[in-house]
Amino acid sequence: MIDHLHEGPLHTPLCDLLGCNVPILVAGMGGVSRWELAAAVANTGAYATLGMVREDPDLIAREVTALRSATDRPFAVNLIPAATEAGLLDRQIGRCLDLGVQDFSFFWDVMPEVVRRVKSAGCKVLHQVGSLEAARAAEAAGADVLIAQGVEAGGHVHGRLGTFVLLEQILRAAQVPVVASGGIASGAGLAAALTMGAQGIQCGTAFLATAESFAHDYHKQRVVAARAGDTVLTDIFVLNWPAHAAVRVIANSVTEELGPNLLGHDPERLPREVIAHEDDQPRLRFSTDSPLRNTTGDLEAMALFAGQSAGAIDDVIPAADRIRQIMEDAASHIDRLTDHLTPQGGQS
């Protein structure tokens, strides 16, 4: 636990709302953010999310059970209603409620009926949004926390504005706590977000490249080697998601073949070619599946999700160390800002 950072300028009301010590959230990365990563994050005082997009309810139950055996800290389960078949989504939510899950994290199109269902069960809702319009819709539906995701983010990206431009817009309009997400992997980003009025940050890439994440070692090492300019926004990795769902990935052989035509791909016209397996499950070229620990095959041609913050990641370390680095760096930045703003020479 980072007890010495429990109070002070880095402890925000969001921490009290979510039951964490520090205002850092791990993104609900599908496949990557499983119980080991979530437990490591939670036990260090940050806020954990299990990435359970389109997962079988039985897997959700196993992950929640394993997480609870490893920590008594609060956590959220991340689901993507708009990208999940209605029957499966109903079973996912039902199983989570049966398990006593208290917090849900949603993304993509706002579905008010889904938010109302879990809110009526007494749960908190964190909703990631990519536009001011979506933020207003999510808050109107009952979201307790808004996560403003900028276009710099890795993985699925719903908006086209930069993180801090979008953050400023949402902060002006929102009545609930706002979290900044996208291109943030350092204390400088956390300090900047807090000084703007955000109550925390959400990081994905920074936690993908940790010892506990369920990402394949190949994916982690590609993140470590990547620079900020090595990522691209494309909708070529779209199978299993709604059409024109853009993602930010590390450029690879698939994106290089596209030349400048990174966007505008129709999933109905893409071939279904098996290039890898996740245990015994086939994984297709152009799918949204990223390489996990149990994936074998042509990993280079898969979706190597990473945000522009990859340029700030130069090693794979335990999640606790990543959080400690971010927090200590943020405290240092805020101290320097305070020094710059302190009147000198007795002037007021």
Give the DSSP H or E segment for 180: strand 178-181
Rounded to whole angstroms, the Cα distance separating 80 from 89 reads 8
Distance between first and last Cα of the chain: 39
> Which tens digit of pLDDT belongs to each residue from 72-104?
999 999 999 999 999 999 999 999 999 999 999
Q: Which domains does the chain have, with CATH numbers?
A: 9-214 (3.20.20.70), 217-309 (no CATH)
- Residue type present at position 251: A
> Which tens digit of pLDDT belongs to each residue from 110-140?
999 999 999 999 999 999 999 999 999 999 9
Rounded to whole angstroms, the Cα distance separating 200 from 286 reads 33
> Which tens digit of pLDDT belongs to each residue from 33-79?
999 999 999 999 999 999 999 999 999 999 999 999 999 999 999 99
Rounded to whole angstroms, the Cα distance separating 234 from 133 reads 23
Q: In this structure, are strands 295-297 and 281-284 parallel, antiparallel, or unpaired?
A: unpaired
As given in the structure block, the two tokens for residue 84 are 């999940």
Distance of CA 42 to the CA centre of its chain: 15
